[in-house]
Structures are given as C-alpha cells and as structure tokens.
Structure 1
Amino acid sequence: MRASILALTAATTASVALAQPHKHQHAHLHEMNKRTQTETSWISGPTAYAFMLDGKSISVDEVCNGVASNKLKWADAAPAGLCSTSASASSRSDATSASSTAASTSGAAKSAAAFYQNSSSRGPSSAATSTVAVSSASDAPAAASSWGAWNASGSGQGVDSAFPDGELDCSNFPSSYGAVALDYLGMGGWSGLQAVTFGSSAITHIVTGISGETCTEGMMCSYACPPGYQKSQWPSTQGSTGQSVGGIQCKGGKLHLTNSALSPNLCIPGEGGVEAKNSASGVVAICRTDYPGTESETIPVELQSGETNQLANPNAGTYYTWQGKGTSAQYYLNPIGTSASEGCHWGTAGSNKGNWAPINFGVGYKDGKTWLSIFQNKPTTTNKYEGTVEIQGDVSDKCIYQNGQYCGATGCNADGCTVAVNSGTATFVVSD
C-alpha cells in the first residue's frame, strides 16, 4: 500500500489551513505463486487521508464538513476528490490508518493497493506509513537476546560488526554479522529473495523467490535484523514501475553490499523510543514488512506473555526513500497465541494471520518527531482483532483499539488512530 502525508495547521481565529501533503508512500504488488509465475508487478490504488490539528486527530468528515461550511480552508490546492461523493467512501474507510510524517501538526494517509496471486485471490495489503517522532540517541536498541525456538540458527550476534564485502560465499547466511536467520520460511534463512534484471537505468524484471529456494547468482537476498534494528542494504537502482528491491547481492558467487555508503554493517538501529509489550495470556507475533524488498510480512518480533521488546523506528530523512519520498515501518499484529513461525509470512484468506492480520501498526520518525498508529488492515480485511491494543507513554493523545473500535480524543471509529510521541519511550501494549 501507499502512505501519503497531509499536514494540517491551525489558522488564527476560526479558520484552519490544510497544507498540501508532503507524501511518503509506496505500493507494490508481489505475486506469490509458482516459481515461474512470480514476476513482480505494481499497481496503485485510491488514496485515503488522515489528519491531525494541533496534535489532535480529526476525521475526514470533520475536514470535509469544515471546508463545506467555510470553517476550514485549503492552504494550497485541495486533494482531488477528497470530499467528493465518489471519493468519500474509500477515503473515509482509512481516515486514520497511517501515521503522520509532516511537521508538529500533521496528518497521514494510505492508499488501497494490495498483493495478488495469479489465481486472483487477494493477498497481503502492505501499507507504508510516514512518521515523525521525539526520541534520542540514547534510545537506540540493544540486540535482542532471545527470539524464540524457531531462531536456533542465529539471533543477531555480531550486529555491530562490519560485513566482509565480497568475501562470503552466497551459500553462507551471514548470521555472524547481525542478520537473523528465518528458518521457518524455507529460504536458507533469508527473509526474501528477488531475482532481478538490470536495465540501463532501472530494474526491469523481478522474480520473487519462494520456499525451497535460497540465495543464488544474481539475486537480491534480504534478511531480518534484531528487534529495533533494520537492514541497511538495498541497491540505488530500483524497479522501473515502482517496485522496491532490497538486500545484499549474490554476484560472482560472493555476497556483496548494495548500500555501503549508508553503512558497512548489515543492520543499523532505528531512532528508538518505540516498544511493544505483551500483556496477553499467549504469545504475540508482530511482523514488519520486508521493505524495501518483497514487502511480505516476514520480519518478526515474537513476544512471550510478559515480554517487551523494541520495534524498529526508521528515520524518514535518512532511511529508504521511494520515488524521492521518505518511508517508515508497517507491522502486522497476529492473533494472540500465534507464534512468529505461524504468522510472519504470507497468510491465507480468513486466517487472521500474516497479511490477513486485522491490525497494523505504523511507526516512523521525521524532523524530530515520532508518530505511531494503530489501524485496520483495509482493504485486505475488515475482521476484528480479538484483544486490546493501546499506545502508552508520553504521547499527544489517546490511541486505543478495544471492542472492535479505534478510539482517540475525538471519539471512536472503525479505521484507526494516530499519536505523536512527546518524550521518552512509547509502548504498544497488547492484552486480552
């Protein structure tokens, strides 16, 4: 899915200026089927918007009604069709689903793109959310010491070690350099595989690897990092029609860095200041999309009951950009009792797992602010999450999912809520 930003600023007296969006977005279609049918393609979908005014969330209805009654006004050109009859349904369905990355008063948006199989069954909906947040260097996460039984082959050791560029055979998963092997995916520990064809100025053909394959010549081979860390490697040349590509490359039989200018390490810390806590009675799996890359929800944070761990918080100004625009992180929250090996991969319709998980988290940092969201995984599913999720800490507003509703300062809705982090660490608390 795409994420876009709309900044909302307060005007003097009774009027409000709605600033033109600084959009941070991505939307890609990754077909998952037989090996010969996994060519990656891309389509765009309708864009939906969320807004914040003076640090408070307001709905699309409030924006459109305010504009219609002349209580609000556009600072620049109005987003096309935002308040029209034809656009209102799709816009309002995701009104508060993405986290914001504009200034201190800002809003967010995401659009409805999804993943499809060749059989035309609907697959995952991977929304990127832009964000901005208050956190300091002291919040940088430490490597996780335990990731669960499924991670017996590597838990992020050596996360601060420089990768020996061009020295390791492609058959060697780099677990001694911070990468965490995801054995349950059946791809030799890699989180995603993309066989690519380079054109004169862009990657013109992408074939997504499946279980049973591993990193071989010419592939971009993506990897997971410990909680709070994010991969640092992706090629500057990306897909010709908007697809993202990520990981290190198998070239000449050896593994090569693709973004050494960003870091010689495979994993780098995010901005910190964001955690998840499991206060539920069973295991909880929170799965980040492997982005840039296949955008499948394969990057896990698994929490046993009572455990707390970091979530990666990318800086939109220094991390991966899509078509020149900053991006942030999206997570899928699986049902309570679902392990990472069960939930952090391509799911099946109606399972409430993987890309079909009912709830997404948006996490990101820009210009000194962290923005966090809890939102419905639309248009993939309208199923309700059986549990409670609340963002706790010194945050700008209330944001809680409970009894099938997302509630903030302006009330409850079926779409989502967004807050900014004022100071310290904010925590997504999951409970029964």
Structure 2
Amino acid sequence: MKASIVNLAVAASVATSAAAQPHRHAHQHLHKKHADSPVEKREVETTYVAATVTQYVLGDKSVSPEEASAGLDRGLYVVVGETTPTFTPPPAPAATTSSSSKDDGVFLQLSTSASSSSVVPATSTYSVAAASSSSSSSYSTGATGIDADFPDGEIKCSQFPSDYGAVALDYLGYGGYSGIQITPKFSLGDSVIDYIETYVSTMIFGSSGFYSYACPEGYVKSQWPSAQGATGQSIGGLYCNSDGYLELTRGDVTKKLCEKGVEGITINNKMSDVTSFCRTDYPGTENMVIPLGIDGGSTRQLANVESANYYVWEGKKTTLQYYVNKAGVSAEEGCQWVCANDPDGCGDKAPIVVGAGKSADGITYLSIFPNSAVSSAKLDYNIDISGDITSECYYHVGEGFAVSDAGCTTGLSDGGSAVITLSKA
C-alpha cells in the first residue's frame, strides 16, 4: 500500500528569551498511519536557553499540540523524519531580552487508510510503520576496513558493506542498512529528488535508490548525494544503481564510507544498568536508529562533527542529535522508532535529547533538552556535563535542567574535552 506525502511547509517556533534551544532533529514529518542557521562567533560565558513553541502542521493546516499528541498516542500519526538539526549558540552574558525565531515545526502526513486529498504530486512512501523489535538480533560495535576505499559499483546492494567500515543493524530488518529510500525516477546529475519511497519494513534489494548505514563508535557516515529531496527531505547513503550495485555518492570528496568524528566527548555510565543514546540517521530517513549502547560502568565516545564541513541542508549547517533512553533500555530496544517495551517512553519518545556540533570558530556546543514535542516521559537518572566547558549544563531527577525547563547549552573550546556522566539520583 502507498501513502501520499502532503505538503511539507516550514513552520517556525518562537524563542521567548535571549536565545533559542537547538532543534530536535528539527522539522518533524509525521505520517498518519494506516498504518543553519550558522553558528556565530562569539564569546561564551553564560548560557541562556529559551522555551520554544512547537507548531504542528498537516499539509498547510496547523494542528493543535493536543490533536497531534492524541494522533500519535492512537497510532494515527507516525514520525518518519525531520530536517535541519541546528544550534543557535548561547548569547553573551549581557544579552537579556533579545529573541529570535527558529524552524521547529512538526509535520503530519495522511495515511493510506485515511482520505488524502491534499497531495504533493510525485512523492510517496511505503509502509510508514517502523520495523518491529527483535529481541534475538544484535548490532556489532565495530567493523573491519574502516580506512579502506569503497570499490565503487562492484558490490551488490544485497551485500551489506561491513568490510568497508559500515556497521550492520540487523535488528531493524533492513538487511543491515539503517534505512532505504527508493528513488526510481532519479538519474545521476539530477539537481533534486522529487519522488521518494521510504522502505521501513519490506526489503526489496536491488531497487534503485539510497541505502543508508551506521558507522562504528566515534565515526559518522560520509556518503550522501548532492541532490536532496525537492520538498526538504534529506537523502543519504550509498546509491543502488539500476544494475543492482552500490555506488559512492560523495566519491569526489571521499571514497570511504565512514569518517572520524571530532574527538573530545565521552559518556561515562556510572550506573549498573545499560542505557542507550540513539542518533538520528541524518542525512537519510532521519529515524533515530544509529545506536550507541552504554553498558553499566563503561565509557563510550560520543560522535561529534564540524558543522561547517559536514552535511548542509538548504544552505544551513547541521549538527548531531541523540535520543537518550531510560536506564535499562539497550540500544537494540531503544534505537528504533517504535520501542516495543515502552512505546510512550523510549525510541522516538525517549525523554531527553542531547545535541552536539562544532562551530567554525572551534567551539563545540553541547546541549541537553527535553523531547517535549512528542514525549512526556521523564528520565530516571542524572546527566552532568563536566570538563573544559564554559557553563553549567545538567539534568537532575526531581530538579530538572540547569538554566531553564527548556534545557541547557554549554560550550567546549577547541582541543578541550568533556564528559557526559550518567548516574542514579
């Protein structure tokens, strides 16, 4: 069955104090089920984070937060992607009353079982429900050949390219890939992609389109086409050509599938329980399925990017967003759109989002903020950022966030290091 995509208009959220918080992964595209701004150079001493008002849009019609929430809870809407994760940097200490607006809209899409009279031609998607959870499968924590050049056009699309650094996410059910966007009307050289079929539960290997993938801890995907979705969708991964073979999409920049992220940020889990940080697959299907599981008592590296040298969406620099699950939720359980064990409190509805991105002036901005657009869940442990940071930023159970209820942002100078510590209250 097919579902038609309605108009993806841009909605703005209004920052009500000195600065706006970083986006969720920013514009959320919600489907009804049938189923950069550039980072400015400035001195950073104190962080102010504003509350934002999120606008929900179905086609060109605004939908109240209550209606959107009810639709999500009843299974009428599902989120299939978002765009433009960006940071607005913290203001200088003297700033007290200025305000700015940000694109932070949530977009709804009609289902195949609902009436769909408002349709953008030549854009469609398949099976918008997320793949079911699998308790028996697992994902690997590393891959061989991370520094090997990918053999352009020589490997079949059905053969997951783990020998070249990509990490198979078998539990998602996409043959190891993190997501697949079929584009049968696309030809190399096209400037935009105006027909996209997003496969999320039925695997048809060999169909022409873009096959996205995860990378090992501390690495990020390095392949995406210059052509992007005509209505703002992000597209990422290797290209499966009409002969059924995988091609590089940024071969003129790099022939490797993964690149090392900016180092300096680690996660220290002081709890006995496992938990998971789930990164948005961006550019790509934009689902938060890129896993980072943190066992109790372990330390892991958080991938970060230099925004000026990474994926650019409609001329805007982008950052990385991680959905933070509750204690006891493994990466395999939590790093998929619908979390079977706690559908209202993990996966896309994880309680908290952590954002990271390095600006052109060398400052990394780290943020902790609530996933309030779609979730009312509460995190059951503390998060503290420490190290070479410019200001206090934390979430504490029973207390909330440093600075304001909307979250907090801190800066990390070039060459510095920061630790995100997880601990029981």
- Pairwise same-fold verdict (TM > 0.5): yes
* Counterparts of residues 63-102 of structure 1 (less than 5 Å): 99-101=87-89
**1:360 paired to 2:353:** yes
> Using a 3 Å threshold, how does the CA distance of structure 1 residues 19 and 185 change in structure 2: closer, same or farther?
closer
Maintained 8 Å contact 2:47/2:91: no
Match of 1:93 in 2: none
The counterpart of 1:186, out of the listed 173, 190, 195, is: 173
The separation in 2 between residues aligned to 1:100 and 1:32, in whole angstroms, is 31
326, 329, 339: which one pairs with 2:330? Answer: 339
**2:20, 2:100 within 8 Å by CA — same for their partners in 1?**
no
Partners of 2:367 and 2:12 in 1: CA distance: 12
Q: Match of 2:312, as an amino acid? A: T
Q: Which letter maps to 1:361?
A: V
Paired position in structure 2 for 1:158: 145
* TM-score of the aligned structures, taking structure 1 as reference length: 0.70
Name the aligned partner's letter for residue 306 of structure 2. Answer: N
What is the alpha-carbon distance in structure 1 between the residues aligned to residue 180 and residue 210 of structure 2? Answer: 6
* Per-residue deviation, 1:160: 1.1
Matching residue within 239, 242, 253 for 1:249: 239
**Judging changes above 3 Å, is the alpha-carbon distance between structure 1 residues 365 and 332 closer, same or farther for their aligned structure 2 residues?**
same
Counterpart contact for 2:138–2:169, Cα < 8 Å: yes
- Separation of aligned partners in 1, 2:409 and 2:298: 24
1:380 aligns with 2:406: no
Counterparts of residues 9-408 of structure 1 (less than 5 Å): 26-29=26-29, 31=31, 54-60=44-50, 99-101=87-89, 111-114=103-106, 116=108, 118=110, 150-152=138-140, 155-196=142-183, 197-198=185-186, 201-251=191-241, 252-347=243-338, 350-367=343-360, 368-408=362-402
Identify the residue that residue 123 of structure 1 maps to in structure 2.
none
Distance, in Å, in 2 between the alignment partners of 1:315 and 1:371 is: 11
Indicate conservation of the 8 Å contact 1:275/1:311, yes or no: yes
Q: Distance in 2 between matches of 1:330 and 1:3?
A: 19
- Any stretches of 5+ residues in structure 1 without a counterpart? 9-17, 38-46, 62-88, 90-96, 121-147
Unaligned runs of 5+ residues in structure 2 are 1-9, 52-64, 66-84, 113-135
The answer (yes or no) to whether the contact 1:5–1:101 under 8 Å persists in 2 is no
The SS at the match of 2:304 is coil
Q: Which amino acid aligns with 1:230?
A: V
Distance 1:26 1:195 in 2: 23
Change (3 A) 1:24 1:317: farther
Offset at residue 104 of structure 1 (A): 8.3
Shift in Å, 1:281: 1.9
Q: Aligned residue for 1:68?
A: none
Matching residue of 1:129:
none
Q: 1:253 to 1:331 in 2, by over 3 A?
A: same
How many residues get paired?
345
Q: Name the amino acid aligned to 2:359.
A: K
CA separation of 1:116/1:2 partners in 2, compared to 1, >3 Å: closer, same or farther? closer
Q: Specify whether residues 311 and 4 from structure 1 end up closer, same or farther in structure 2 by C-alpha distance, changes over 3 A only.
A: farther
CA displacement 1:361-384 (0-9 Å, x = unmatched):
000001211010000012111322
Determine if contact 2:389/2:418 at 8 Å carries over to the other structure. yes
CA distance in 1, matches of 2:222, 2:12: 21
Q: 1:314–1:359: structure 2 CA closer, same or farther, 3 Å change rule?
A: same
TM superposition shift of 1:425: 1.5
Q: Deviations over 1:29-74 (max 9, x none)?
A: 264856xx8xxxxxxxxx9xxxx9842112548xxxxxxxxxxxxx
The 3-state SS of whatever aligns with 1:271 is coil
Q: Is the CA contact 2:48–2:90 (under 8 Å) kept in the aligned structure 1? A: no
Q: Deviations over 1:303-347 (max 9, x none)?
A: 111111111111111100000111000000011101111000112
- How far apart, in 2, do the equivalents of 1:261 and 1:389 lie? 40
* 1:125-163 Cα deviation digits (max 9, x unpaired): xxxxxxxxxxxxxxxxxxxxxxx97125x7321111111
Q: What is residue 124 of structure 1 aligned with on the other side?
A: none
Task: Tell me the SS of whatever aligns to 1:342.
Answer: helix
2:418 maps to: 426
**Which amino acid counterpart does residue 395 of structure 2 have in structure 1?**
Y
Q: Which amino acid aligns with 1:431?
A: S
Distance in 1 separating the partners of 2:296 and 2:12: 32
Q: Is the CA contact 2:50–2:406 (under 8 Å) kept in the aligned structure 1?
A: no
Matches of 1:167 and 1:357, distance apart in 2: 39
Distance 1:157 1:377 in 2: 35
Deviations 1:407-429 (A, max 9, x none): 43xx4x32200000135221211
Amino acid at match of 1:222: S
* Separation (CA, whole Å) in 2 of partners of 1:356 and 1:23: 15
Q: Give me the TM-score of the superposition, normalised by structure 2.
A: 0.72
2:143 partner letter = G
Distance in 1, matches of 2:32 and 2:203, equals 14
The change in CA–CA distance for 1:101 and 1:271 in structure 2 (over 3 A counts) is farther
- Distance in 2 (alpha carbons) for counterparts of 1:29 and 1:211: 18
Tell me by how many angstroms 1:277 deviates.
1.8
- Separation in 1 of the partners of 2:110 and 2:250? 33
Secondary structure of the residue aligned to 1:176 is helix
* Corresponding residue for residue 415 of structure 1: 406
